[in-house]
Amino acid sequence: MIFFFDENISEYAARMLGYFDRNNEMRASVDYFKKGTSDTEWLSTVAKWGGKTVVVSGDARILLNKVERQVLKECKLTCVYLARGWTKLPWEESAWRIVKVWPDIVKNVEQSPYPSLFEVSLGPKVQAEGRIL
């Protein structure tokens, strides 16, 4: 699978996970798009990559914006978004947390119908829960 990390998640997180997860490909937004590229533009481009591509986002506003949510549905991409609070964590804490939950994210994505939507909670027990778009 290809995991695409949007600009709201550090490119270093994508690269770090690439070292831990050798079965999947990690791609950071910064390597493909200019900062500030509209969500509708990059979603449409990422959807054309083929195969099972999964968006990892730190911006749940995509789900609240009707146009962006519709593009996400039309693109038939699975989306894993980090719940409120993830992007505000110090780097050291977010790094260990994402590494800890990564195997569960991959497992959930592999076992779910495609496309699906997952929220990765931030709490005492970090977990990924999903639903079909």
Which tens digit of pLDDT belongs to each residue from 56-100? 999 878 888 888 888 888 888 899 999 888 888 998 899 999 999
What integer pLDDT is reported at residue 128 of this predicted model? 54
Mean pLDDT over each residue of the chain, to the nearest integer: 88
Cα–Cα dist 122/51, whole Å: 29
Whether residue 133 is predicted with pLDDT greater than 60 in this model: the reply is no
Range of the domain at 59: 2-132
Here the tokens at position 118 are 């997952």
Stronger pLDDT, 123 or 118, i.e. the higher one: 118
CATH assignment at residue 16: 3.40.50
pLDDT > 70: percent of the chain: 92
Total structural domains within the chain: 1
